[in-house]
């Protein structure tokens, strides 16, 4: 299994290096058989170490060849579907076997650490370290820790011991250092000598290492006191809980080895905050539930902040429960990836800087060459100075000729441009004339049609005018007749008026005579005269002739 082999490669490399005799990177197959048999036994495999006799034709193997054999013959038989708990169990057993091989290289009775503490540091070191090789000795593999990872371990232990890291600046060089550390160098660096009593220090440092071991190796995400509601008695009871990506275990006390219960976590679990009951009473326990299908675990914390911390930690554990990498190992891998990305960025910057320096050197060399060439050219220029002056005079003359030719060329170009402009104008004028000619022809056609219409109208008008003239002549003849008739009637009217005047005169005479007569006779005579006068007037009145003008004049 590739994941298991990758996780235990560092510890196997430590055991491989412990079996070397000449420190040349090679170990005999007889020694490797023992190590392979022990590792295979842990994986329920037997007899796989015998394949080393037929693997390659050499009596010794380097670590690269041995790792390849383990991947093909030992770890290839492990299932790829192992849960995280089983995977961590295999890692623990293989690390113990490797530690039994290589612990002889480290002091057994150290006044600072116990053997158990050194073993825990060994596993922590293998978790965060990297496998590296030297370019001068490609067969020799070593396991080293990056300075930043060493600084993280130092800070964790100092905080656990109650020492202030910020006030201790002797480890600040690890931030910028590029030299990786081996396990022995890390042990020497972790010998804090701030305590006066060695026994107290040894007990405290071992306890701090144990706490860090639980966090990094056992992958403890969070631990602390929680209240759990029972099934039989629905009351909250306080336990000490330890949360890992695969399980949530609880004990009666932190120092107890016996587990009171374990909740196996998987992707089906959900964490839900639970509200207080509707009774209105303020509870001392902030409750939340852990739900998986029809099974519900009700837990509680003393305050709201702790509840939020446990909810976040449980969600993180559920997320990592289905994976093949633990939370801390995943965190270490992310830090490695960040460092690798930072190293790639630095290498790229260094390459760019070296390229820039190389270009600067090349430019400097080129400038020197150009300087020498310039000096040689100056010495040669002094020799050809007279020739240059003559050439300058000829060049000046040629420049004048060139200016004249350029001016003539510009004039010719301008003339061609003007000619093109004139031609364009002529073409446009011709186009306009054609358009106007077409318009004139159209106007002529319209004018001819209008003249034809006017001619027809004129003939009609002349015909009507002749008829009107004929009617006018007839009306004038009739008018002359009417005029003559009027004149005749005027003469008759004049005669009638004369007769009336005469009758008026005679009437006056008669009236005068009548006044001299008797009244009866005068009345009868008067009536007789009146009737006679009326008959006379009626006899002498002219007859009216038809015609508008004559009748008006008569009236």
Q: What is the DSSP string of 417-445?
A: HHHHHHHHHHHHHHHHHHHHHHHHHHHHH
What confidence score (pLDDT) does residue 195 get?
47
What pTM does this model have? 0.61
Locate the DSSP E strands across 244-303. Answer: 247-251, 261-264, 270-273, 286-292, 295-301
Residue 241 confidence (pLDDT) above 90: yes
Instruction: Please tell me the distance from the alpha carbon of residue 190 to that of residue 77, in angstroms, as a whole number.
Output: 39
- Residue 553's pLDDT band (cuts 50, 70, 90): very low
What confidence score (pLDDT) does residue 281 get?
52
**In contact, 256 and 233? CB cutoff 8 Å:** no
Q: Which of 25-34, 51-60, 530-539 has the lowest mean pLDDT?
A: 530-539
Mean pLDDT of the chain, nearest integer: 84
Short-list 96, 103, 118, 123, CA closest to 205 = 118
Range among 8-17, 70-79, 127-136, 314-323 with highest mean pLDDT value: 8-17
Q: What is the pLDDT of residues 69-110, one digit of tens each?
A: 999 998 888 877 778 888 888 999 999 999 999 887 776 556
What confidence score (pLDDT) does residue 295 get?
85
List the structure tokens of 229.
Answer: 């509601």
Where do the structural domains in the chain lie, given as residue ranges? 1-215, 220-275+283-324, 416-449
Q: What is the DSSP string of 296-331?
A: EEEEEESSHHHHHHHHHHHHHHHHHHTSSS-HHHHH
Give me the count of residues in the chain: 555
Residue 309 confidence (pLDDT) above 90: yes
Q: What is the pLDDT of residues 179-237, one digit of tens each?
A: 888 888 888 888 766 544 445 667 888 888 888 898 888 889 999 999 998 877 778 89
What CATH code is assigned to 220-275+283-324?
Answer: 2.30.29.30
Q: What is the pLDDT of residues 252-301, one digit of tens each?
A: 988 888 899 999 888 889 998 876 554 445 567 888 999 988 788 999 99
Overall average pLDDT of the 411-415 stretch = 91
List the structure tokens of 205.
Answer: 């440092």
Which residues does residue 222 pair with via DSSP β-bridges, in sequence order? Answer: 243
What confidence score (pLDDT) does residue 405 get?
92
């Amino acid at each position: 299994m590739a994941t298991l082999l990758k996780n235990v490669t560092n510890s196997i490399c430590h055991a491989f290096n412990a079996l070397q005799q000449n420190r040349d990177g090679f170990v005999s197959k007889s020694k490797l058989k023992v190590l392979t048999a022990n590792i295979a036994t842990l994986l329920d495999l037997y007899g796989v170490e015998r394949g080393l006799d037929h693997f390659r034709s050499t009596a010794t193997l380097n670590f690269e060849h041995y790792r390849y054999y383990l991947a093909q013959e030992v770890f290839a038989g492990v299932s790829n579907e192992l849960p995280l708990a089983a995977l961590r169990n295999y890692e623990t057993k293989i690390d113990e076997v490797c530690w039994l091989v290589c612990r002889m290289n480290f002091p057994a009775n150290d006044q600072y650490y116990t053997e158990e503490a050194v073993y825990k540091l060994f596993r922590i070191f293998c978790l965060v370290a990297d496998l590296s090789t030297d370019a001068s000795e490609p067969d020799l593999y070593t396991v080293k820790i990056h300075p930043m990872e060493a600084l993280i371990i130092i800070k964790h232990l100092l905080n656990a011991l109650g020492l202030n890291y910020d006030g201790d600046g002797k480890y600040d060089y690890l931030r910028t250092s590029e030299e990786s550390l081996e396990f022995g160098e890390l042990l020497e660096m972790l010998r804090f000598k701030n305590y006066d009593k060695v026994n107290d220090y040894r007990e405290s440092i071992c306890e701090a290492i144990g706490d860090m071991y639980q966090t990094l190796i056992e992958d403890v995400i969070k631990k602390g006191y929680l209240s759990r509601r029972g099934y039989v008695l629905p009351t909250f009871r306080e336990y000490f809980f330890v949360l890992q990506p695969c399980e949530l275990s609880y004990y009666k006390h932190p120092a107890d080895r016996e587990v009171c219960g374990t909740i196996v976590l998987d992707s089906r679990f959900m964490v839900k905050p639970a509200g207080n009951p509707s009774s209105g009473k303020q509870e001392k326990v902030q409750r939340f539930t852990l739900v998986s299908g029809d099974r519900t675990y009700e837990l509680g914390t003393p305050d709201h902040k702790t509840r939020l911390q446990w909810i976040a930690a449980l969600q993180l554990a559920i997320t990592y429960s289905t994976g093949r990498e633990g939370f801390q190992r995943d965190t270490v891998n992310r830090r490695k990836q960040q460092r690798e990305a930072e190293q790639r960025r630095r290498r790229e910057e260094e390459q760019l800087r070296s390229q820039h320096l190389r270009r600067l050197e090349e430019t400097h060399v080129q400038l020197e060459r150009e300087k020498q060439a310039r000096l040689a050219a100056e010495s040669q220029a002094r020799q050809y100075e007279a020739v240059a002056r003559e050439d300058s005079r000829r060049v000046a003359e040629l420049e004048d000729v060139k200016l004249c030719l350029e001016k003539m060329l510009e004039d010719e170009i301008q003339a061609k441009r003007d000619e093109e402009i004139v031609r364009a104008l002529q073409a446009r004028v011709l186009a306009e004339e054609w358009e106007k000619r077409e318009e004139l022809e159209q106007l002529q056609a319209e004018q001819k049609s209008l003249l034809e219409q006017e001619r027809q109208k004129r003939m009609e008008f002349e015909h009507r005018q002749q008829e009107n003239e004929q009617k006018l002549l007839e009306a004038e003849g009739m008018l002359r007749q009417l005029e003559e008739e009027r004149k005749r009637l005027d003469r008759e009217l004049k005669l009638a008026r004369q007769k009336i005047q005469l009758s008026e005169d005679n009437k006056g005479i008669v009236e005068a005579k009548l006044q001299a007569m008797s009244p009866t006779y005068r009345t009868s005579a008067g009536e007789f005269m009146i009737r006679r006068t009326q008959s006379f007037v009626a006899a002498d009145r002219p007859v009216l002739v038809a015609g508008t003008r004559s009748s008006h004049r008569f009236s």
